[in-house]
Structure 1
Amino acid sequence: MPPPPDPVFEHVVLALVHGSGYEWISTPECSDRTIRRRLKESSQQGISKTVHALVLEAYDRMIGLDLDEISVDGCITKAPSGGEKAGRSPVDRGKQGLKRTTAGDARGVPLGIVSAGANRHDSPLLGPTLDAAKEQVGVLPDTVNVNLDQGYDNNKSRALIAELGFTSDIARKGAPAPIRASRRWPIERTHAWMNDYGKLRRCTERSGKVVDFYLCLAAALVTLRMLIRQAHSRYRWDGRPTTRRHK
């Protein structure tokens, strides 16, 4: 029989989904102090990063990661409480904001995530994001083509990609390029899915490790949802959902 569900983890997921304060989601069986303590312990141990890697492994085994085309893009969200990963947002009147850069495969499966202040430029985060993707999935193929937007249109980004032995498609500054006319739109869609989580839209965490914990947990849930949707038309199992749509 499967082990009973962990009530503390269920509350952590509730906090991720709704973005609520821990006092509002606490219950008699799980206080807000317990949630904070478990978050601190789990973030220091890198549990959500391990969970993300396990879900990626399951997706690769059952569906298959398409690593020949990788897209990297950044997204800025609110961080009203400041903290270690916050910075002045250039798109929100200088208020505190959080930037996350995500690398995804050809379908938009999130492979690696890096967090930084909203005032950080996308280009210097390209290398750490690709390193995070390699750490989660292992060695990337030699035939990788990296798809990037105009924020990466500079010599530094091209030199890095060439050093890694990859090719690239980078949107040119001053030349309009519709998202769906390129291979970047899956990662844009992934960012939209991740922004459905309240804790990511408006991050009130001050600890950088807790911020990264929530980012990896959200990436794992997004990957798991994509796995279920893809497996729905390929496999049969007990308790298989009757529809591909999941809330």
Structure 2
Amino acid sequence: MPGYLELAEAIRKVLLRGAEAPARQVLPIPGGHFLVMSAADGEVAVCKLVTVQADRTPSVQAEVWARRLATGEVFHLPGEELTRRRTAALSLLAARLLAPRREGALLLVGPGAQGEAHLEAFAEGFPLTRVLLRGRGRARVEALLAKAQALGLSAEEWTGEGVPEDVAFIVTATPSPTPVLPERVPEGAFIAAVGSFRPDMRELPEELIRRAALYCDTEDALKEAGELQGQTGVVPLKAALLGARSEGDPVVFKSVGHALFDLAAVRVHLGLEG
């Protein structure tokens, strides 16, 4: 799999170059949802199939099919790993563009696959001073702490109420319907909120959202993300890449996922980006 900085650059190119990507389909299934996400440009067409079922482990399962248009070749790609890495690369792209502070501690809320991927991505993209972690599941918390330490980073569990002042980067990667952060975070913090993906889910408290500079991955997040319901002045990432900015503090980047980012990851996987 490619590095996170390489994936972030591919996402940047796809956003600016443009591609076709209809709204994703979400169908109810027993215990969850079935999602269909597709996108295409002049060289490749992709379709990702995702099942989300809370009573299964893992709760999210995905596969990606891609067709290289010039040759007709069809590829079946590892959907979970591709989604894991492209989501963290997207957060990294946004952070490198928008984060007010360029180094400091990383706080991860959620020790699952996305928490691990974001640890890897931010360690690749920024000079981290230490890692703080909060989450459910003792084994997963300890495993991610060990992963951070294996990367050469000081790591410990976050057990307090307030967010320490040295935290420059925060990632929330949980399916929580209620906020997992306090209303106050350090000045100049960058928050990547990647866990919630429905209007009834909210990882961040309303007061924090009210005063924040708000960004989203695509306009679809304005309809799908609980944190962004009724908010104005939210800047999509493509517009931010072209120079648009939102006002406020902290900086919040809310992503719910989009087939364009799968397309970017597939392009890297097939060697179409250079």
TM-score by length of 2: 0.28
The structure carrying a bigger strand percent of its residues is 2
TM-score by length of 1: 0.31
Larger relative contact order, structure 1 or 2 (CA cutoff 8 Å, min sep 6): 1
